Chains A and B, each alone.
Chain A
Amino acid sequence: SQKIEQNSEALNIQEGKTATLTCNYTNYSPAYLQWYRQDPGRGPVFLLLIRENEKEKRKERLKVTFDTTLKQSLFHITASQPADSATYLCALGREAAGNKLTFGGGTRVLVKP
């Protein structure tokens, strides 16, 4: 069955450092992958989308890579700030599956000043 794995353990990181999150998947051939941020009591907020033919995408201090051979995406937050503390979710989608996304369980990030 399809499986999307994100590290369930919280990532504690010092302000100014780079946070790196992993999203691994099995039994899945996604056409694209998305990353979301979720704060407590709020809905997820879309951050970035990367397609299967793209290796890397950047947005401000965020960088996403997508390796379809390793079946893995890495999400980097550079120069992290306490305001980056949140849960980050990856989600995979395929055109053949319509536009529906399957989400991973998320990784909580805590940036300490």
Chain B
Amino acid sequence: DAGVIQSPRHEVTEMGQEVTLRCKPISGHDYLFWYRQTMMRGLELLIYFNNNVPIDDSGMPEDRFSAKMPNASFSTLKIQPSEPRDSAVYFCASSLRINYGYTFGSGTRLTVV
């Protein structure tokens, strides 16, 4: 398995533009997580899915953020409109079962100018 695949690796966009981050989890993993990492706040959970259903989105900063998982092999995180404070590394992770370790992707480094 190629692991969790995220795209793009880097994204630079102007304030106000829409940004879409993509994730392909490991096949057979029931859980998918979106995290954001910054120096100041560390790794923060944004949202997670179980069997493609959003379970907890309490970490989503505001309505500008949305996430979908249309099928077991694909998820997106969208920011519209983007702001400079959204600049961070966004990680997608998947997990086989509850209480199992997570497999993280390589992340998307987002810079909003």
Contacts and interface: CB of A to CB of B under 8 A. Distances in A.
Q: Do A and B bind each other?
A: yes
Interface string A53-92: 0000000000000000000000000000000000001000
A103 B48 CA distance: 15
A44 B55 contact: no
Interface residues of B, number: 25
Interface in B60-112: 91, 93, 95, 97-107
Interface stretch (A11-19, A20-28, A94-102): A94-102
B42 A100 contact: no
B104 A104 contact: no
Interface of B: 4, 31, 33, 35, 42-43, 45, 48, 50, 55-56, 91, 93, 95, 97-107
Name the residue among B45, B98, B107 with the largest chain A CB count within 10 angstroms.
Answer: B98
Contacts of B56: 98, 100
Interface of A: 31-32, 34, 36, 41-47, 49, 51, 89, 93, 95, 98-106
Contacts of A46: 101-103
Given A98-B98, A99-B100, A100-B33, 7 more contacts: A34-B101, A34-B102, A43-B105, A46-B103, A49-B100, A101-B102, A103-B43
